[in-house]
Chain A
Amino acid sequence: MNIYAYIFRRLLYVIPVILGVCAIIFLIFNVVAPDPALIILGKHATAEQVVEIRQQLGLNKPMLSQYFDIVRSAFTFDFGRSWSTKQEISEMIKAGAVPSATLSFPAFFISTILGISISLLVAFYRGSMFDKVTVVGCVTLMSVSSLAYILFGQWFFAYKLGWFEISGYDYGFPYFIPYILLPAIIWVMLSVGPDVRFYRTIMLDEIYQDYIRTARAKGLSERVILFKHVLKNAMIPIITYVVIQIPFLILGALLLESFFSIPGLGSITLNAINSSDFPVIRAMTVLSAVAYIIFSVITDVLYTLVDPRVRLS
């Protein structure tokens, strides 16, 4: 089978997955969800208003057509309007994407670079005290609750010491930078641990391969081996690992955005959860599911392109 046929097949596989995702979403939000009329109407609702609202929201439509509405939204990104804010959801997503991206992409980039650098170092000094201390240090960082980091960081570093803005956001470069510094640092502290652990394992995997032994036998220095051979070959799993994380950046970091008043998709999602705003929760779910599916296709394709060992099946 040639590579194009494989990519085509892989793309085709997206369809049943999207249908499945929509089915789960439909089950959760249209079958077992509470009555939206009560969410919309508030404390002075009357029975007559409840009937009218249900009619307007299309909740009296047959189940199957409600299901296809969700499927359609996965392709058109037309999610309707929010129940609680009455805003066009696609507009909300557009507005929230920028702040989320300005926090999550730099933070993700830095933590990935940092993770790879540290793991190279510890792979170089594997088995030494330095290796052990660094790994334990990274694991300690990731063992603290994210909420504890946020509460303490905001109170101590932003308020007591005045190093950072306490909370808020400004649009446009470079105005957002002071606001994302502290949340980005917390992000890095949280994610550098798992990153280092993962990358270190991959590097060690490579180091014990036969070809490395050969290289070593040939008298190449450890540093050359590490950078020329190990890093090069470890790049494949590293890239796949990085790419597959990208869709998760879409939702941003719920808690970080909420505590630092960053008006991103994470904040929007958290608001929607707190006010049972189902169209928005549904939209965010569909959106990140579609992103995940797309990026996993990209990962798979990349993988087959760079690594001839992977069988095309």
Chain B
Amino acid sequence: MNKLSLLSVLIVAVLSMVSCTKKEISSEKVLNLVVGSEVKGMDPIYSNDRYSSNETARVYESLLEYHYLRRPYQLSPNLAEAMPEVSNNGLTYTFKIRKGVKFHDDKAFPGGKGRELVAEDFVYSIKRLADPKLQGLGWWTIDGKLKGLNEWREKNTASETVNYDEVVEGVKALDSHTLQFTLVKPFPQFLYSLAMTFTSATAKEVVEFYGKEFLNHPVGTGPFILPEFKQSNRIEYVKNPNYREKTFPCDATEEFEKIAKEYCGKKLPLVEKVIVSIIKEDQPRWLNFQKGNLDFIGIPKDNFDAAVTPSNELASDLSTKGIDLLIQPSLDVTYTAFNLDLELLKNKKLRQALSLSYDVNTSNKLFYNNRALPAQSLVPPGIAGYEKDFKNSYRGHGKEDEIERAKKLLAEAGYPEGKGLKELTYDCPSSTVSRQIGEYTKQQFAKIGVKIKVVQNTWPELQKKIDTRQVEIWSIAWGADYPDAENFLQLLYGPNKVPGANGSGYNNPEFNRLYESASTMQDTPERTALYEKMTRMAAEEMPWIFGVHRQNYVLKHSWLKNYIITDFEAGTEQYLDVDVEAKKVALEKL
């Protein structure tokens, strides 16, 4: 049978080729990261989701960043030399730009050498974010905030080309390294937008050189270089050899002092290479981590019990492999929203009854491994406006008396035992967990006789249904854009109704008034008092059933150094280090 022998030769050939391609462990310091979703290109003004902004921020830098070793979150200068000078009326912010910062080398520059960063680059980048033809997705961060910018945007909407040469009062370069912002009205949260990737520095000549392909040719000032972005399963960044003298911070809040002491003053970035794998499915992501192909990973819900024991410690089989568990509350809130445009759901007692019937403790156990914090209102712990001891009186925990109260409220709402109430539609995203939460909600409401139908949607479909008001009840979550309660309270601000972020359409004049006055105030006890008043109002009116504030659970391998969970991880990989020797030893055990 010569056919058989041919076949065996083929198989041997293939196998030997495979064994030749087995990678050797290099002595280079390489970070292996993972993202769970497709990355949408590398243009800062379109980086509106966590995944894209993380990628973009490896290459681009902004004026400010969050201090890596301080909690609560604190802004610190990045491309700016220091925090800005703020005028007494709170309207003018003057920045000194760091000297000697170079853009990456790229053929868009004369001679292929990256030129020095100047204040005018920020003026250009901010205008680019406001460019009506480009429709940058971060426009909301500066919309209506900078003097003359909205007028500039409007003027250029109608015209053929956008005129970048016209000087805008709100964002001006006073000299080559001095930048001045002028606000329309005091808005202290403005500084947060200068730490986002939307406002990072881009060079005009690069944008013009690549045109529409600019999103695939990131050229920034950042610690890592990506010559060309390709939509694939992996992105590979290399260290920027000309990176400016930026060093590891020496000051830290208590819990991070050890790291600060060890690394203080070391030149950044600490690794040679960053490899980002794009793995969309949970199973391969988890298996790859356990094999040591990824340095750290958030724990998927269903791997939780396999990884963490009930006493919140790491399962022994993982800890013997040298895997560490990190836990950190995240700045977010999950909620089940009501469409308050519907006459039916304007009935406050109905909303309160539904909230009381919903057992948050069991949902915490089923979906968050009992580690999340049941939300009393919308502001999460860790930022001003959250009250530790406040209890929402319509929060259900599955207790008998709560169910009785819920039934009573339902009767008062006009639907004794659910009679006369139609089946409500509950929309949720299409992930497996969202569906299970929907099924759980159905069980909960059924306890007081309210029926719902669970419908799954892709994310854009759900967004569309909310925006066109074709929703009744839906489940959703909000993660902080910046660490300020204002970012959560705006979800209930009347004028923010769809297509803004206020999906439920809550519109309470009193609440709106409080919001408007708080949003122009500096961080003071008075402002915190206003924030607290608003969260209590929301807890009484129940425009949503408040869910939980989630915790981030991250598993990391022993060789990864300095990893800290943060809600604002863009740009933080420059602080991470890999112990190559330890990795070699640890891989043996995996």
A residues in contact (CB < 8 Å) with B: 34-35, 38-47, 49-50, 52-53, 56, 81, 84-88, 92, 95-96, 151, 154-155, 158-159, 162, 166-170, 174-175, 177-178, 181, 258-263, 267-268, 271, 273-276
Residues of chain A contacted by B428 (CB below 8 angstroms)? none
Q: With A34-B461, A42-B137, A155-B283 known to touch, is A263 a contact of B293 (CB < 8 Å)?
A: no
Query: Within 8 Å of chain A (Cβ to Cβ): is B460?
Result: yes
Residues in A with CB closer than 8 Å to B288 are 166-168
CB distance from A205 to the nearest CB of B (A): 25
Contacts of B14 in A (CB 8 A): 177
In the complex, the answer to whether A44 meets B500 with C-beta atoms within 8 Å is yes
Closest A residue to B285 using CB positions: A167
Least CB distance, B429 to chain A, in whole angstroms: 10
Q: Which chain B positions have C-beta within 8 A of A261?
A: 233, 277-281, 284
The answer to whether A92 touches B135, judged by C-beta atoms less than 8 angstroms apart, is no
**Interface contacts beyond A43-B463, A166-B284, A167-B281: sample of 16 additional A-B pairs, CB < 8 Å, sorted by A:** A38-B467, A44-B48, A45-B467, A86-B40, A86-B43, A87-B216, A159-B290, A166-B293, A167-B288, A168-B288, A170-B21, A174-B18, A174-B20, A174-B21, A261-B233, A261-B277
Q: How far is the CB of A147 from chain B (nearest CB, A)?
A: 11
A49 to chain B, nearest CB (A): 6
How many Å lie between the Cα of A154 and that of B279 in the bound state?
14
A41 to B143, CA, bound (A): 14
The smallest beta-carbon distance between A207 and chain B, in angstroms, is: 22
B559: interface (CB < 8 Å)? no
CA distance A262 to B278 in the complex (A): 10
**In the complex the two chains form, is B231's CB within 8 Å of A263's CB?**
yes
Is B216 a contact of A35 with CB atoms below 8 Å? no
For window 236-291 of chain B, which residues contact chain A by CB distance below 8 Å?
A: 277-281, 283-284, 287-288, 290-291
**A35-B464, A166-B288, A274-B458 known; A174 and B48 CB under 8 Å?**
no
A154 in contact with B287 (CB, 8 Å): yes
Q: Which of B18, B157, B233 is in CB contact (< 8 Å) with A181?
A: B18
Contact of B501 among A43, A158, A178 (CB under 8 A): A43
A242 to chain B minimum Cβ distance, whole angstroms, is: 20
Judge whether B232 and A263 touch: CB under 8 Å: yes
A88 to B216, CA, bound (A): 11
Q: Which 3 A-B pairs have the closest CB atoms?
A: A44-B140, A167-B284, A276-B460
Contact of A87 among B21, B231, B467 (CB under 8 A): B231
Q: Are B232 and A46 in contact (CB under 8 A)?
A: no
- Nearest CB in chain A: distance from B491 CB, A: 10
**With a CB–CB cut-off of 8 A, which chain A residues contact B137?**
41-42, 44
Q: Is the CB of B459 within 8 A of A275?
A: yes
- The residue in chain B whose Cβ has the minimal distance to the Cβ of A84 is B40
Name the A residues within 8 Å of B281 (CB-CB). Answer: 167, 258-259, 261
B38: interface (CB < 8 Å): yes
User: CB distance A53 to B464 under 8 Å?
Assistant: no
Q: Does B102 contact A (CB under 8 A)?
A: no
**B17 an interface residue at 8 Å Cβ cutoff?**
yes
Q: Does B234 interact with chain A (Cβ within 8 Å)?
A: yes
CB distance from B73 to the nearest CB of A (A): 21
Choose one: B157, B230, B458; the contact of A95 (CB below 8 Å). Answer: B230
The 8 Å CB contact of B40, one of A52, A85, A267, A268, is A85
The answer to whether A39 and B38 have CB atoms under 8 Å apart is no
In the assembled complex, the CB of A270 is this many whole angstroms from the nearest CB of chain B, namely: 8
Distance of A181 Cα from B21 Cα, bound (Å) = 13
Across the interface, do B500 and A87 meet the contact criterion of CB distance under 8 Å? no
Q: In the docked arrangement, what's the CA distance between A151 and B432, Å?
A: 15
Q: Which chain A residues lie closer than 8 Å to B430 at the CB level? A: 274
Q: Which residues of A contact B277 (CB under 8 A)?
A: 168, 261
Asked whether B132 is an interface residue with its Cβ less than 8 Å from the other chain, the reply is yes
Cα–Cα, bound, A178→B15 (Å) = 9
Q: Assuming A49-B139, A52-B157, A275-B460, is B17 touching A92 (CB within 8 A)?
A: no
For B153, the closest partner residue in chain A by CB is A48
A159 CB to nearest B CB, Å: 4
Q: Is the CB of B38 within 8 A of A271?
A: yes
Bound Cα distance from A38 to B462, whole angstroms: 10
**A159 with B40: CB separation less than 8 A:** no
**B41 sits at the interface (CB 8 A):** yes
Q: Which residues of A contact B213 (CB under 8 A)?
A: 88
Give chain B residues whose Cβ lies under 8 Å from the Cβ of A49.
135, 139
Would you give 29 A-B contacts (Cβ < 8 Å), ordered by A?
A38-B463, A38-B499, A39-B464, A40-B135, A42-B48, A44-B501, A46-B500, A52-B135, A53-B135, A56-B133, A85-B41, A85-B231, A86-B40, A86-B46, A92-B231, A151-B283, A167-B288, A168-B288, A169-B233, A174-B17, A174-B20, A177-B17, A177-B21, A178-B21, A258-B281, A259-B284, A263-B233, A273-B458, A275-B459
Whether A159 and B291, one on each chain, are in contact in the complex, defined by CB atoms closer than 8 angstroms, is yes
A219 to B216, CA, bound (A): 70
Residue of B nearest to A36 (CB): B460
Bound Cα distance from A136 to B284, whole angstroms: 32
A15 to B1, CA, bound (A): 50
Q: Does B581 contact A (CB under 8 A)?
A: no
* Contact in complex: B458, A275 (CB < 8 Å): yes
Residues of the A chain whose Cβ atoms lie less than 8 Å from the Cβ of B279:
167, 261
Report whether A159 and B458 are in contact in the complex, using a CB–CB cutoff of 8 Å.
Answer: no
Question: Which residues of the partner chain B approach A175 to less than 8 Å between Cβ atoms?
Answer: 21
Q: Which residues of B contact A41 (CB under 8 A)?
A: 135, 137, 499
Contacts of A154 in B (CB 8 A): 283-284, 287
Considering the complex, which residues of chain B in the window 128-156 have a beta carbon less than 8 Å from any beta carbon of chain A? 132-133, 135, 137, 139-140, 143
Are A46 and B499 in contact, CB atoms less than 8 angstroms apart? yes
Instruction: Determine whether B49 belongs to the interface, using a CB cutoff of 8 Å to chain A.
Output: yes
Interface presence of B215 (CB below 8 A): yes
Chain B residues within 8 Å of A40, by CB = 135
Decide: B287 and A158 in contact? CB cutoff 8 A. Answer: yes
